């Protein structure tokens, strides 16, 4: 008895051209457009900027060099 498996190669799929009216290049999808915040929502975060980040003190332990124990022969 011989059973044949369906051909699942990727190159057998039809290659449809992109429809620019359905997926315009460089324009966001409608569900990704920004929406106005609802009353009580947090305000939107500003874009990242190093000048707007808080000053975090450097941990003095991060600069300490730890040497391994010497090996006894």
What would the mean pLDDT of 27-31 be, rounded to a whole number?
Answer: 62
| pLDDT for 30 beyond 70 | no
Instruction: Specify the DSSP class assigned to residue 44.
Output: P
pLDDT value at residue 6: 60
Taking Cα atoms as reference points, which of 44, 42, 22 lies closest to residue 34? 44
* Torsions phi, psi for 33 (to 5 deg): -70, 145
Query: Would you say the pTM of this structure is higher than 0.75?
Result: no
Higher pLDDT, 16 or 68: 68
């Amino acid at each position: 008895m011989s059973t044949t498996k369906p051909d699942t190669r990727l190159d057998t799929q039809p290659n449809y051209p992109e429809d620019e009216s359905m997926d315009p290049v460089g324009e966001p999808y409608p569900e990704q457009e920004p929406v106005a915040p609802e009353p009580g929502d947090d305000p939107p975060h500003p874009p990242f900027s190093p000048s707007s980040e808080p000053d975090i003190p450097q941990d003095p332990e991060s600069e300490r060099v730890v040497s391994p124990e010497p090996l006894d022969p």
